[in-house]
Amino acid sequence: MAAANGGDAKPKKPRKLKDFSDGGKGTRLALNSASIIVGILLWFLITLIPTINTFLASPKQVYAALLSESAANGRFFKDISISLQRVLIGFGLAFVCSIPVAFLMGWYPKVRSVVEPWIQFFRTIPPIALIPLVILAMGLGEAPKYTIIFVAAFLVMVVTIYQGIKEVDRTLIKAAYTFGATDKDLFRDIMIPAAFPFILVGARLGMAASLTTLIAAELTGTTFGLGARIQGAQQFMDTSIVLLGIITIGIIGFLLDKILLLIEKRLTRWK
Amino acid sequence: MIRIEDVHKEYKVDGGKDVNALNGVDLEIGKNEFVCVVGPSGCGKTTLLNIVAGLEPYDSGKVTMHGEDIIGPGPERGVIFQQYALFPWMTVRKNIEYGMKFLRKKTPLAERYSREEKSRMADHYIDMVNLTGFEDSFPKALSGGMKQRVAIARGYAQNPEVLLMDEPFGALDAQTRAQLQEDLLQTWEKEKKTVLFITHDVEEAVLLATRVVIMSARPGQIKEIVDISLPYPRNQATKLDPIFIEHRNYIWDTVYRMYLEIRK
């Protein structure tokens, strides 16, 4: 009987097809943590090699730097708070300004035609390239930092939110009209809620852009802030502080994104 | 009640020649009639509905309701779209209430309905389409058939004089479609409305309509109008009636012949 297909052939298992799912939650978290632990371990191992340790501090050294920097006369928290302040002010201004501009562009084709070339043009320029001009115009205070972050976040958010407004389902617009909605009703009842998810996506992209731009902006012409600290430590070849700064920036970015993601989940449960 | 007189409409197509979507269409729809329009794809039946809805302009001719020109969409003409057009950020109840948002009472003062009145009316229509228990669900949680029921409830809640339905059951599976056809018949018999219903399904048209309008494509014109002499109430069993079969065969044959002609 079994000989029919050449001896004791094992029953064939159905082939597993890629479904691009996230996998089980437990496995995912276990692999996430294992990956981080192994990464830190590898980092520790390679810094045991003296030549590498001269330009790459070990986890232990970074931890020591964290302790000394956050001690009473350390400047760690001051750097963090000033960087955060810059990000939040620049981002906040950009958020408040980008929404009306994006809606005006989405609503009035003429506004779109006037504004769009400028946005497309400035979008291709890294905001960092504007630093010399901004410093010449505004000096070395806080204003130039806010301005650079504002430009970076504003452009990203305007483009994202405007794209969202443009893609509002035409059938929903038609439906609203057939209920007797005026243009004003349409704007308030349909356009704003329909664009809402894009506002939140725009905010996340804008926040990421703010953070990257800020650090770059702080690399020149300032004494406080995480970017400035990294730059300062480099001159003393203190790579433990450089790494501490980098990791802190990464964690801040991660947390800010998580907060926005949480808000997004909360507010767009209907999606 | 609705008069369509010698309506012409051309589309400009990028890089191609103009498509003659409607070429001299005349149609009169009386109060509480259920008119179904069938025809091969591209015959301009959806264009016709959009023009009556006030959602699309036309080149020449005249479209009136109670003798007044239709110059745009209005709450007295409710539209049910094939793609449901439910607002995804509103629950079932909110969607239905939105249909009544701009509705005014037919009193001399003509104020809008109060929140309680709207809520009561929403309950009535949710019950009518058998969706009790789903009032607080978001559309994403509903099946296609349920979504279309919400849309129908919303269309009824708007209390229009005319319901314009653009292939409303076109995206549904056969069983759900049969169910919704019966539901719609029941609803319509309970609360009569004037209906203009676009479909490419000949059986559906004969089952629902008091009159079936057959359109031809390129140019879009009305080829023939068939009175369906079947009594209401109707249901799926009506499909076995010899009169039904006769109508269906005749209309199906006419539409299919036109289809073959276009293909040539």
Amino acid at A103: F
By C-alpha distance, which of A270, A124, A91, A140 is closest to A196?
Answer: A270
SS (H, E, C) B135-180: CCCCHHHCCHHHHHHHHHHHHHHCCCCEEEEECCCCCCCHHHHHHH
Q: Cis omega before residue B233 (within 30°)?
A: yes
The reported pLDDT for the residue numbered A4 is 52
Task: Choose from B79, B87, B91 for mutation: most chain A CBs within 10 A.
Answer: B87
Which phi and psi (to 5°) does residue B257 adopt?
-60, -40
Count of CB atoms within 10 A of residue A253's CB? 17
Shortest CB distance from B75 goes to which of A179, A190, A193?
A179
A270–B77: do the CB atoms touch at under 8 Å?
no
Helices (H), A167-225: 170-178, 183-185, 192-218
Kindly determine whether residue A181 and residue B102, on different chains, have CB atoms separated by under 8 Å.
yes
User: CA A117 to CA B13: how far, in whole Å?
Assistant: 28
What pLDDT does residue B191 have?
85
Q: Which amino acid is at B105?
A: K
Model confidence pLDDT, tens digit, residues B169-206: 988 889 989 999 998 999 899 888 999 999 999 999 99
Please list, in sequence order, all residues whose beta carbon lies within 8 angstroms of the beta carbon of residue B178, skipping any fewer than 6 positions away: B236
Distance from CA of A173 to the nearest CA of B (A): 9
Of the candidate ranges A245-249, B40-44, B211-215, the one whose mean pLDDT is the lowest? B40-44
Say if the Cβ atoms of B85 and A185 lie within 8 Å: no
pLDDT band at B219 (very low <50, low <70, confident <90, very high): confident
Give the list of residues 6+ apart from residue A203 with CB closer than 8 angstroms, or none. A95, A157, A260
The residues in B 56-85 lying below 8 A from A, measured between CB atoms, are 72-75, 77-79, 81, 83, 85
Q: What is the ipTM of this complex?
A: 0.91
Q: Output the pLDDT for position B33.
A: 95
Average pLDDT of chain A is 90
Give the rounded percent of residues in chain B with a pLDDT score beyond 70.
97
Amino acid identity for residue B177 in this structure = R
A258 forms beta bridges with none
pLDDT at B166 over 90: yes
What is the reported pLDDT for A152? Answer: 94
Q: Using one digit for the tens of pLDDT, what is the confidence trace for B69-94? A: 999 999 899 999 999 999 999 999 99
Inter-chain residue contact A270 with B98, CB threshold 8 Å: no
- Report the mean per-residue pLDDT for chain B: 91
> Closest approach of chain B CAs to the CA of A184, in angstroms?
13
Q: Is A107 on the interface with B (CB under 8 A)?
A: no
Provide the chain B residues 10-49 that lie in CB contact (below 8 A) with chain A.
Answer: none
- Amino acid A147 reads T
Whether the per-residue pLDDT at A92 is higher than 80: the answer is: yes
Mean of the pLDDT values across residues B255-263? 85
Question: From CA B243, how far away is CA B249, in angstroms rounded?
Answer: 10
- Residue type, position B220, single letter: G
Q: Is the dihedral of CA B236, B238, B242, B244 positive or negative?
A: negative
> Domain map of chain B by residue range?
1-76+160-225+237-250, 85-159
Contact A186/B at CB under 8 A = no
Q: CA nearest B165: which of B66, B45, B255?
A: B45
pLDDT at site A6: 54
Q: Which two tokens stand for residue B52?
A: 């009556």
Quick one: pLDDT band at residue A8, thresholds 50, 70, 90? low
Q: Long-range contacts for A159-162 (Cβ within 8 Å, ≥24 apart)?
A: A159/A119, A159/A123, A159/A202, A160/A198, A160/A201, A160/A202, A160/A205, A160/A206, A161/A98, A161/A99, A161/A102, A161/A103, A161/A195, A161/A198, A161/A199, A161/A202, A162/A102, A162/A105, A162/A106, A162/A112
The SS3 call for residue A140 is: coil
- Are B99 and A179 inside 8 Å of each other by CB? yes
Q: Determine, for residues A174 and B79 on separate chains, whether the beta-carbon distance falls below 8 Å.
A: yes
Chain B residue numbers with beta carbons less than 8 Å from the beta carbon of A190 are 87
What local confidence, expressed as pLDDT, does residue B226 receive? 96
3-state class percentages of chain B: helix first, strand second, coil last, to nearest 5: 40, 25, 40
How far apart are alpha carbons B6 and B3 in whole angstroms? 10
pLDDT at A130 over 90: no
A3-17, A89-103, A130-144, B79-93: which range is least confident on average?
A3-17
Looking at beta carbons, which residues of chain A come within 8 Å of B138? 269-270
Pairing assessment for the beta strands B194-198 and B162-166 based on DSSP bridges? parallel
**pLDDT on residue B41:** 80
The residue behind tokens 């802030």 is: A225
- Reply yes or no on whether the pLDDT at B106 is more than 80: no
> Residue B221 — φ and ψ, nearest 5°?
-140, 160
- Interchain CB contact of B110 with A (< 8 Å): no
Q: What is the mean pLDDT of residues B231-239?
A: 93
This prediction's pTM = 0.84
Residue of A nearest to B91 (CA): A270
User: Nearest CA of chain B to the CA of A191: how many Å?
Assistant: 11
Q: What pLDDT does residue A95 have?
A: 96
Instruction: Tell me what pLDDT residue A5 has.
Output: 55
Which stretches within B71-114 are classed as H helix? 92-99
Query: Could B102 and A175 be called an inter-chain contact, meaning their C-beta atoms sit closer than 8 Å?
Result: no
Under DSSP, the state recorded for B236 is G
Q: Which residue type does A47 have?
A: T
pLDDT higher than 90, residue A205:
yes
Residues 192-251, chain A, touching B (beta carbon < 8 A): 193-194, 196
- The pLDDT tens digits for B13-34 are 776 677 778 999 999 999 999 9
pLDDT of amino acid B3: 96
Q: Which residues of B touch A179 (CB under 8 A)?
A: 75, 98-99, 101-102, 158
Beta strand B19-29 with B2-11: parallel, antiparallel or unpaired? antiparallel
In chain B, which residues have their Cβ closer than 8 Å to the Cβ of A174? Answer: 53, 55, 73, 79, 81, 85
Element (H, E) at A221: none
Identify which has the larger pLDDT, A73 or B159. B159
Nearest by CB to residue A175, choosing from B74, B79, B139, is: B79
Measured CA to CA, the distance from residue B150 to residue A46 in angstroms comes to: 63
Domain B1-76+160-225+237-250 has CATH 3.40.640.10: no
> CA Rg, chain B, in Å?
19
Say whether A189 and B99 touch across the interface (CB within 8 A).
no
Going by pLDDT thresholds of 50, 70 and 90, the confidence category of residue A73 is confident
Going along chain A from its start, the domains and CATH numbers come out as 76-267 (1.10.3720.10)
Spatial contact of A186 and B87, defined as CB atoms under 8 Å apart = no
CA dist B226 to A34, A40, B119, B177, Å? Answer: 73, 79, 41, 23
For residue A71 the two structure tokens come to 């001690």
Lowest mean pLDDT among A4-18, A31-45, A213-227: A4-18
